[in-house]
Chains A and B, each alone.
Chain A
Amino acid sequence: MTATRIVGRSLPRMDAPGKVTGTAIYAADFALPGMLHGRVLRSRDPHGRLVQIDASRAARVRGVRAVLTAADVADVRYGGSVKDEEVFARDRVRFAGQPLAAVAATSPEAAAEALAAIEVAVEPLPPIVDVTDALAAGAPLVHEGWASYAALPILHRDGNVCNRARIVVGDVERGFEEADRIFEHRFVTRSVHQGYTEPRAAVAQWDSAGQVTVWSNTQLPFEIQSTLSEILQVPVSKVRVVVPGVGGGFGGKLRVGVEHFAALLARKTGRAVKVMTTSEEELTAAYARQPAIVELKTGVTTDGRLLAREGRLWFDTGAFAGSGPGVASVATLMLAGPYRIPHLLLEGYAVYTNKTNFGSFRAPSGPQANFAVESQMDIIADALHLDPLDFRLRNIVREGEEGPTGQVLTAVGLEECLRKVADAIGWKDRRPAPGRGKGIACGWWTTTGGSSGVYVKINPDGTVALNTGAAEIGTAALTGAAQVLAEDLGVELADINVVSADTLSTPFDFGAQGSRTAFAVGNACRAAVADLKRQVIALGARQLGVDESALELRDGAVVAPAEGKRATLAELARISQASGGGLIAHGTFVAPPTPYDAKRVEGHVYPVFHSPSFHAHAVDLSVDADTGEVTIHRYVVAQDVGFAMNPTYIEGQIEGGVAQGLGQALSEEIVYDAGRVLNANLTDYKMPTAVDVPRIESILVQHPSLVGPFGAKGVGEPPNIEPPAAVANAVASATGVRITSLPITAEKVALALRERER
């Protein structure tokens, strides 16, 4: 690999000074003069017929400027893969937390008072509380009109199932016949919230030309723009979405959440309106991770070769499809795991229930499927008297082999990851003391495709403006992209200014999702530099009177070494400004399609993992046999990042992702009872604190991808995948007790230990 100056170094992120001084403005901080406060009235009932909604008293509350219900908005259904959502419940309430009305008032207190004054009559219906309920014979339909909804034609929908994605490879029955041993297990996981510290927030304002501007902390400004255009029934060009600072997203800020209420209320009142969620709304009516049930049947030979797997994963997608159909598709790839298994029958279901529309949380489907797959790997290894590490090494995919849908895998760093974490954790001594044990888990993940565009402009002082449609949500992805840009242009990182995420002025970007931002924006920057290079060399040649072929771009200048001639980018930018409209390039990138065997998939919206990453986690922990409490001593991650664009922030992604993963593993769950959330506040929704998270050790493995900038792969989501499985395996190793549901609370462990004593 050629030496790099800027990319690959742990340089401080560009937006840090504003963030440490409190001057960075987030959507939650955003305000306009005369702005009204919007609030949303949400259903208390999980399921019922909406008989009446009377807002007349609310409208008379002092300070109230508008009250909206379904009667006041266009009757449109929207949604990404299935158009089944509506702004306000119209005649049927489908989850506790579903919007019924919205108000705008001059103060938050007046808005709250107005909400309390809206009279709602709901005739309750028995709620469909989970997947089992929804799939029971004769179960009522969450959407009686499901068949009439517009939806992606590729989906396999049927009643309460809004997609069944499937992978079929070989002949799974034959595989089971050939197997020496067959293992069947069932795993259950609960919903967990992204837990971003900044609530979802949006401010909307309409101008006299009928354009609405929405300042929102969304991860996907262009998606919000198109959804708002549907809901508001105006052309996309009349919707401008601008993203100020974002206080974390993790997949929870992908879809419209508050923006439409702000825009509708602003249109009605002619004033700017701000809507921001409460903790209660976050925990009852946001896009938390889908609860899942996973059933795995795996056939192996006695010497530990995986032969066949039949796996089904049912996601509770809640009252609307949302991300469910796509996440169910991704789940099938995760059920295969990073393993060579000749016979596969894998299905992912997204199932409607009367709960909030669960969504995409960092590596959607990853932790649920990986928890099942990697737990079962350990169970099988134990049964076959094999070391879990050896058993994995015998079956993992290797360079040039096929993924489950036939994609050819390259840059496979998995073996190195596994061996490195095992060495680091001291795998040879797996049970160092009574009640203490080590666990390992591995996995793979995608670098989401989608296109990115950037404009790169050279300023007359030689600094550079990077204009991107991507939002910086905290990962430092745009610092990474800027490092790529600085590297290629031969300037310093400090010379680059980033303008981002404004649908009116920035080029399109598929958005801050799927571990793709640094990867795709970085590549778009490279394309822009290639174009700029042509421009400056042509201009330099004319200016310096040398042949273009004599010139190269180096250290912020075009130089003709032989002639000893040189023109700086600043000079060229000034010349171009005077004579040619300035130096500017439009760089674009879209991940090239990854070939796969289309015959193997059905109902699948995500059949391959682009530039896949591979990773292994290992944990060393103790279990208090009396209280069941888990104490983590060490946690090690080895992740194949392809190329580490900025090691500090990659470690940051790993440390943060593991901390979040440990929350899912040990303490977090949104607890439902008959369709209602019992812990809709941060007192009882338990995210790890600084004393709960151990020091996390990161090992960066680098098998360069063919596509990513300098060989990079997506890094943001993967660290969230393996912690539940690694912890479950370590708890089993420490205690001999296998917990097959998440979270692995002290209570579960203690009670399981008691059961075993009996």
Chain B
Amino acid sequence: MHFEYHEPTSVREAVELGARFGADGRFLAGGTDLLIQMRRGQLRPRHVVSLHRVPGLDAIDVDGAVTLGALVTHRRLEREPSFRGALQALIEGAEVVGGHQIRNVATVGGNIVNASPAADVAPVLLALDAEVTCLGPGGERSLPLEAFASAPGVTARRPDELLTRARFARLPPHSATAFLKAGRRRAMEISLVCVAARVTLDASRERCLDVRIVLGAVAPTAMRARAAELGLRGQPLTAQALREAGRAAAGECRPISDVRASARYRALLVATLVERALARCGERIRQAA
């Protein structure tokens, strides 16, 4: 673990360093993924660019759209009052990441760029149709989060680009979100499966106008359960419909068996967690009314 250390104090300086080192460099945010991967020898960057003195990347902005700076920590997310209610899933996704020590420093940007299939916050952002913005020597570009990660640890970010923010539209009325995760313990768990759901009902709160179901840890990247989503569109959220959505999602996920769980159990968890997350969305919409 030998590298040169850099501590930029502005976004511009950070981007310049990123451009200078390209694939030899890594940005360091909370370090909860990066430093462990480096200690285990999985990553050997020659330059580490710490972002902790870079101002302006740690804001949560809820005017119009919601913007999360890349350096917003999970701790900030879970305590953000404006997320209570329709955006509850963001709180639920953040508050189950590691323990307090992890959440105090681990960032949204790190969660997205690390692109672990088992990440907990990224799936919620995916369910919110978030787009992410990268800033590099060639300027700024935004792309849908769904198009960002393509495999574990592999993203559309160029090595010289800094992820600056994630952004999503505020939800229409009669919307709710929910996040559920399963692990062997109740805390300090990498998800065996996690599910983020978003539901928008029509004005009469009868039928589903829009729905997103995102599954974590059952494919090389977080994935949308499109068949399950499609099946619900225009339908009332009956117990039967929820169960079928769960079953459909289980059918379309592509889990593997590993030391944490078997593929079969993961699929079974998908069915249950999807059903429950959707039910929770339904309850939340009704309660908010």
Residues of A at the B interface (CB closer than 8 Å) are 109, 626-627, 629, 666-667, 671, 678-679, 683-684, 686, 688-692, 745-747, 750-751, 754
Contacts and interface: CB of A to CB of B under 8 A. Distances in A.
A504 to B, nearest CB: 38
Interface string B180-196: 00101111101000000
B264 A686 contact: no
Contact of B182 (A627, A671, A679, A692): A627
A747 B261 contact: yes
Contacts of B185: 667, 686, 688-689, 691-692
Interface stretch (B83-91, B169-177, B265-273): B265-273
Contacts of A750: 265, 268
Contacts of B289: none
Interface residues of B, number: 20
Nearest to A677: B259
A178 B2 CA distance: 74
Contacts of A666: 184
A683 B184 contact: no
Nearest to A684: B259
B241 to A, nearest CB: 17
Contacts of A746: 182, 184
A751 B182 contact: no
Interface in B225-284: 259-262, 264-265, 268-269, 272-273
Contact of A692 (B186, B190, B269): B186
Nearest to A747: B265
Interface string B189-229: 01000000000000000000000000000000000000000
Contacts of B1: 109
Given A627-B269, A745-B184, 20 more contacts: A109-B1, A627-B182, A627-B268, A629-B182, A667-B184, A667-B185, A671-B259, A678-B259, A683-B190, A684-B259, A684-B260, A686-B185, A688-B185, A689-B99, A690-B187, A691-B185, A691-B186, A692-B186, A692-B187, A751-B264
Nearest to B190: A683
A626 B264 CA distance: 13
Given A626-B272, A750-B265, A751-B264, A686 B259 contact: no
A679 B265 contact: no
Nearest to B276: A626
Contacts of A686: 184-185
A589 B185 CA distance: 44
Contacts of A671: 259
Nearest to A751: B265
- Closest 10 A-B residue pairs measured CB to CB? A626-B272, A678-B259, A747-B265, A691-B186, A691-B187, A689-B187, A667-B184, A686-B184, A679-B259, A671-B259
A172 B261 CA distance: 42
Nearest to B193: A627
Interface residues of chain A: helix, strand, loop or mixed (majority): loop
Nearest to B271: A626
A691 B100 CA distance: 13
Contacts, number: 47
A548 B186 CA distance: 66
A747 B262 contact: yes
Contacts of B187: 689-692
Nearest to A280: B40
A679 B268 CA distance: 23
Nearest to A679: B259
24 contacts: A627-B182, A627-B268, A627-B269, A627-B272, A627-B273, A629-B182, A666-B184, A667-B184, A667-B185, A671-B259, A679-B259, A684-B190, A686-B184, A689-B99, A689-B185, A691-B185, A692-B187, A746-B182, A746-B184, A747-B262, A750-B268, A751-B264, A751-B265, A751-B268
A686 B183 CA distance: 10
Interface string B109-146: 00000000000000000000000000000000000000
Contacts of A691: 185-187
Interface string B1-36: 110000000000000000000000000000000000
A109 B99 CA distance: 29
B284 to A, nearest CB: 20
Contacts of B265: 747, 750-751
A683 B268 CA distance: 23
Contacts of A629: 182
Contacts of A745: 184
A128 to B, nearest CB: 22
Contacts of A690: 187
A277 to B, nearest CB: 16
A689 B188 contact: yes
A747 B186 CA distance: 15
Nearest to B40: A681
Contacts of B273: 627
A110 to B, nearest CB: 12
B3 to A, nearest CB: 12
A692 B189 CA distance: 12
Contacts of B262: 747
Nearest to A625: B272
B218 to A, nearest CB: 14
Contacts of A667: 184-185
A580 to B, nearest CB: 58
A666 B185 CA distance: 9
Contacts of B259: 671, 678-679, 684
A666 B190 CA distance: 17
